Structure 1
Amino acid sequence: MSIALVRNPGDGPAFRYYNTGVEQVVSTDETNGAVTVSRLKMPRSDAPPLHTHSREDESWVILSGRVRFWVGSTSLAECDVYDAEAGAFIYGPRLVPHTLQPITETAEILQINSPGAVEGYFKAIGPGEARADEEHIDLLAHYGVVLLDNPPAV
């Protein structure tokens, strides 16, 4: 018997994180905490603030659309900026400041966090008409996330 997990698009449980549709491709529970993978359908208006993770590395695969990434400084104005198109892979090691925003109206993104505990934050926040990250500083801290600067302008 195989221990591999095969999950086709649309087969994972779905939830909303602010205005982003999330499909849980694989959960931290299914990997003994090693990794969590989510498929995001992210609108341009749902960009997170510039932030760091102290506990996990984060990677993204752009499935559709174009996404801009800001990386490497505590200020958006001082970050390196990269545009990623469908098929691109982006790696963000822990403690490196980063944020992302679709350049297109929406983008489909595979997000990989290793280890995977941070998925609890996304599920705890749930849906919302507008991002309100600053209202969740204590919950973010619980997951080792620190906000550094405002989200990119829409």
Structure 2
Amino acid sequence: MSVALVRNPGEGTHYRYYDSVQEQVVSTNETQGVVSVARLTMRRADAPPLHVHSREDESWVVLSGRVRFWIGSSSLDTCEVHDAGPGTYIFGPRSVPHTLQPITTTAEVLVINNPGAIEGYFRSVGLADARNDAEHVDSLAEYGVALLDDPPHA
């Protein structure tokens, strides 16, 4: 990457993901595949199923609200659980199962993927009435992601 990037909130590209809008703060194309960063305003119902990435590390920075993270096992019941507030940084290395869910009504979170190719999956889902990751298992597998357990209860 040969150019520095500075993006203020709202200056990224916005796209539909299920029934929410995400902001692509930095795209994989802009970083030559090195990183992808998205800003999410999550509701409790936006929690993804417990899953694992085989190709990228994932990090999160909680910007507002409180978020619960389940990390490290193939079922929610046996994962380590961590609650995170504004300013918290969480690192999820590839091959470590994880999921997250706001504890507060909403939470704003930066999601950072290294390398950034997974961004293609998020953009491909598009608009839907509600989140249903099970409909996209084949597409997730193309990006090296496997679903392990249901999402946390909303």
| TM class by smaller structure | over 0.9
Name structure 1 gaps, 5 residues minimum: none
Asked if 2 retains the 8 angstrom alpha-carbon contact of 1:37 and 1:111, the reply is yes
Describe the SS at the equivalent of 1:77.
Answer: helix
Name structure 2 gaps, 5 residues minimum: none
Asked if 2 retains the 8 angstrom alpha-carbon contact of 1:56 and 1:93, the reply is yes
Q: How far apart are 1:20 and its partner, in Å?
A: 3.3
Match of 1:55 in 2: 55
Match of 1:36 in 2: 36
Match of 2:99 in 1: 99
Q: How far apart are 1:16 and its partner, in Å?
A: 2.0
Q: How far apart are 1:21 and its partner, in Å?
A: 2.3
Match of 1:112 in 2: 112
Q: How far apart are 1:5 and its partner, in Å?
A: 0.8
Match of 1:66 in 2: 66
Q: How far apart are 1:43 and its partner, in Å?
A: 1.0
Match of 2:76 in 1: 76
Q: How far apart are 1:33 and its partner, in Å?
A: 0.3
Asked if residue 24 in structure 1 is aligned to residue 24 in structure 2, the reply is: yes
Q: How far apart are 1:97 and its partner, in Å?
A: 0.3
Give the distance between the partners of 1:41 and 1:135, measured in 2 at CA.
Answer: 22
Moved over 3 A (4+): none
Match of 2:143 in 1: 143
Q: Which amino acid aligns with 2:140?
A: L
Q: Which amino acid aligns with 2:143?
A: Y
Equivalenced residue count is 153
RMSD across aligned positions (CA)? 1.0
Give the distance between the partners of 1:24 and 1:134, measured in 2 at CA.
Answer: 24
Q: How does the TM-score come out when normalised to structure 1?
A: 0.97
Q: How does the TM-score come out when normalised to structure 2?
A: 0.97
Give the distance between the partners of 2:18 and 2:39, measured in 1 at CA.
Answer: 14
- Greater shift, 128-137 or 144-153, is seen at 128-137
Describe the SS at the equivalent of 2:127.
Answer: coil
- Greater shift, 123-132 or 76-85, is seen at 123-132
Q: How far apart are 1:129 and its partner, in Å?
A: 1.9
Sequence identity percentage? 67
Give the distance between the partners of 1:147 and 1:29, measured in 2 at CA.
Answer: 26
